[in-house]
Amino acid sequence: MNIIVCGSLVPDPLQTLEPITGPTGPALKNEMMLPSWLDPWAGHALYEASNLAAKNPGSKVYLVSLGPKAKLQQVMMTVAQKVPFELIALDGSAGGFTDAAETAAAIAEAISAIPGLDLNNTLIFGGWESASRGAGATMQIVGERLGITDQFEGVDSLEIQADGSLKIMERVEGGKHQISVCTAPPAVLGWATGNLPEPRNNPQVGMANMRGIMPSLQKAKPSPVTTGDIAFASVSLPSQTRTTQVVKDVPPDQIAAELVAWIRG
Amino acid sequence: MNLILLHTEADGTLSKLSLETLAATIALGAPFSVGIVGENTASAADSIATCGAGKFLTITGPEFGQARYATDAAAAEALIRAVGPDLVTTPATSRWNRVLPGVAHRIGGKVDSHVTGLVMADGKPQATRWFYRQRMEAVFSRSTRPWLLALEGGIAAAWTGAAGTANAEAVSLTVPVSRTSVIGFEAPAADQQTIRPDADLLFVTGAGWTKKQSDGLVKTAEAETLILDFLRLSRSSLGSTKSLVDLGGEGVAVLPFLSHMNQVGQTGSTPRHAKGLSTCCHGEEPHTVGWRFIGERRAISLDANCGWSRGKADILYVADAFAVMEKVNVLLGR
Ligand SMILES: Cc1cc2nc3c(=O)[nH]c(=O)nc-3n(C[C@H](O)[C@H](O)[C@H](O)COP(=O)(O)OP(=O)(O)OC[C@H]3O[C@@H](n4cnc5c(N)ncnc54)[C@H](O)[C@@H]3O)c2cc1C
């Protein structure tokens, strides 16, 4: 089985972000200088993919990443230590303001170009949303472009059953999971958190991965994704900071009474 | 012409979010039609018969009682093609969020999800949504039509009006072949369901509940009782920090009723509640971005310099949450 994970990079969540107007629309101030991470939900997808591959000998995990080549290289140094995969790098913007449809088109094209890929033996994984655009749109469009109409979003678990069917749990409203069975691949799965902790660094895996990662980065296809037809009227940081009243040295009884009045009020 | 695309709930009704989407779209002032997908759609259409829709179109059948990509995407596509709208609005339910981007691709349209504002500006629709997981907000428009928008709650008050006879037209559709069947749902037992989207109050627990306290002891059992008692007495919804839910994955004995579904923040949820109370949580940015849509905010932390003190809460009580919540529960129980 092939498991193709779509995932790119996002700015470190602890960084303060500031929007600026760039030549092609909104962008982040010092975008190329900001430390980046593997997009968290795509990261969960990658760890789940690796876990699934380990349980199904002969499986192969690909990571398709569209991002600025130089930044991808930095992020891959860390990601490569985690789990084995073959990188397919695409050189273009990973910014949040680009149009998901363009990103999806570039990713779908890269997947279609994998030599000898049998889609009927392939699962397409990604995060159910990025931490940049935060739209939850890319994976579905990738699926449509590849002709895959068995799609799942907000996935927290995938089990391959004895008959080869896929049992999938997706997040739905009210803290529930919907359980579906899909008879066989191909399928698109946008992962939420899943069930696996972040794998520990494994230097051997890192060395093996890096042998493929460097050439992949070198031949990364330029993929100029843009904001498409979006006209941004404004991009702003939330202005509302509250005036925090810090209440100290007040006995618990009094705080409790105040809180209960507030809760009931 | 705009199209409001709705689906029925398991009981055949329309959700509050559907009625909010209806109201938000009506407020744009353009003529509109309503499309409804579901196992039974007649009573849902009748319930909004007087909303002013030019037409009610439905796709009905047992296959559409289940939320599944292939059937829902085909239904949405058929309804959009039947109307030929400029704008398509849907409530941002898990069901529409799953299919809308794919549908946009099929019909040559464009899509935006998680829309938190929709107005007319210079005669054109303009949407608001957040980027970088609630860290910045953008106002924008698109030139492509149809433009599909999944609307979050809170944009407009739910539509209210008299029921009537909608005279809905059934749109015919060959049910697409799907290899997927929905076999059920998994939810905690009703009395253990801690996520309550309709609650007034979000109650957030942080890793502090499992940390060594001033007397040198870890009091997880006590924490569990205090938290569960509070949830029962206040009927609030339980949110958590990442640090606390992650402990479960690392094999440490923690609060068994918490899962990643409770996690609020950058890689968790961004729930909507009128009030939020944070306990034993440091109020770091990756957590507090998940509070973007929480109205009044209070926090209890031992640390006077925690993130909550820096403009993130209205009131920070510098106190021991164990002591305070015990008293709170006593008062609520009276
Ligand atoms: C990529 C990424 C994504 C992330 N996403 C999220 C996310 O989605 N959600 C999220 O929450 N975090 C997220 N984080 C983690 C975040 O940065 C913080 O580490 C986390 O929120 C801290 O959790 P905490 O406040 O519960 O724990 P801590 O930082 O350990 O704070 C515990 C607090 O409890 C207080 N305390 C202890 N005992 C008591 C007591 N008896 N009474 C009152 N107070 C007490 C302490 O003073 C302290 O302030 C993310 C981080 C990264 C890197």
pLDDT digits (tens, 9 = 90+) for A196-224: 989 999 999 999 999 999 999 999 999 99
Task: List the single residue in B114, B183, B319 with the smallest CB-CB distance to A135.
Answer: B114
Q: What is the 3-state secondary structure (H, E, C) of chain A?
A: CEEEEECCEEECCCCCCCEEEECCEEEECCCCCCCEEECHHHHHHHHHHHHHHHHCCCCEEEEEEEECHHHHHHHHHHHCCCCCCEEEEEECCCCCCCCHHHHHHHHHHHHHCCCCCCHHHEEEEEECCCCCCCCCCHHHHHHHHHCCCCEEEEEEEEEECCCCCEEEEEEEHHHEEEEEEECCCCEEEEECCCCCCCCCCCHHHHHHHHHHHHHHHHCCEECCCCCCCEEEEEEECCCCCCCCEEECCCCHHHHHHHHHHHHHC
pLDDT in the model for residue A14: 86
B140–A230 C-beta distance less than 8 A: yes
pLDDT band at A24 (very low <50, low <70, confident <90, very high): confident
> A124 CA to middle of ligand 1, Å?
33
> A218 CA to middle of ligand 1, Å?
40
Domains of chain A and CATH, by start: 2-222 (3.40.50.620)
pLDDT in the model for residue B247: 85
Residue A55 scores a pLDDT above 80? yes
Query: Rounded to an integer, what distance in angstroms lies between the CA atom of residue A262 and that of residue A62?
Result: 52
Query: Rounded to an integer, what distance in angstroms lies between the CA atom of residue B155 and that of residue B19?
Result: 11
pLDDT band at B269 (very low <50, low <70, confident <90, very high): very high
- The overall average pLDDT reported for chain B is 96
User: What is the sign of the dihedral through the CA atoms of B37, B194, A191 and A182?
Assistant: negative
Query: Rounded to an integer, what distance in angstroms lies between the CA atom of residue B188 and that of residue B181?
Result: 22
* Of B285, B187, B215, residue with least CA distance to A15: B285
Measured in angstroms, the CA of A6 and the nearest CA of chain B are apart by: 16
Query: Rounded to an integer, what distance in angstroms lies between the CA atom of residue B286 and that of residue B31?
Result: 42
Q: Is B240 in the pocket of ligand 1 (CB under 6 A)?
A: no
Residue A124 scores a pLDDT above 80? yes
| Model confidence pLDDT, tens digit, residues A217-236 | 999 999 999 999 999 999 99
Domains of chain B and CATH, by start: 2-170 (3.40.50.620), 190-333 (3.40.50.1220)
Residues in contact with B30: Cβ distance below 8 Å, sequence separation at least 6, in sequence order: B1, B2, B86, B87
In chain A, pLDDT over 70 holds for what percent of residues? 100
Residue A20 scores a pLDDT above 70? yes
Q: B252 and chain A: CB distance < 8 Å anywhere? A: no
pLDDT band at B322 (very low <50, low <70, confident <90, very high): very high
Residue B141 scores a pLDDT above 60? yes
pLDDT band at B31 (very low <50, low <70, confident <90, very high): very high
How big, in percent rounded to 5, are the helix, strand and coil portions of chain B?
A: 30, 30, 40
pLDDT band at B58 (very low <50, low <70, confident <90, very high): very high
Query: Rounded to an integer, what distance in angstroms lies between the CA atom of residue B194 and that of residue B22?
Result: 29
> Which atom of ligand 1 is the closest one to the Cα of B243?
23
Tokens 């895959």 appear where? Answer: A148
pTM of the model: 0.95
Q: Is B300 in the pocket of ligand 1 (CB under 6 A)?
A: yes
- The overall average pLDDT reported for chain A is 96
pLDDT in the model for residue A239: 75
> Which atom of ligand 1 is the closest one to the Cα of B265?
8
Query: Rounded to an integer, what distance in angstroms lies between the CA atom of residue A134 and that of residue B113?
Result: 9
pLDDT in the model for residue A16: 87
pLDDT in the model for residue B148: 98
| Model confidence pLDDT, tens digit, residues B178-222 | 999 999 999 887 778 899 999 999 999 999 999 999 999 999 999
Residue B252 scores a pLDDT above 80? no
A248–B304 C-beta distance less than 8 A: yes
Residue B253 scores a pLDDT above 60? no
In chain A, pLDDT over 90 holds for what percent of residues? 93
CA angle B298, B266, B18 (to 5 degrees): 85
The mean pLDDT value for B310-333 works out to 97
Query: Rounded to an integer, what distance in angstroms lies between the CA atom of residue A93 and that of residue B195?
Result: 37
Burial class (CB in 10 A: 0-12, 13-18, 19+), A226: middle
Query: Rounded to an integer, what distance in angstroms lies between the CA atom of residue B247 and that of residue B254?
Result: 7
Residue A119 scores a pLDDT above 90? yes
Helix B321-333 to helix A252-264 angle (10° resolution) is 50
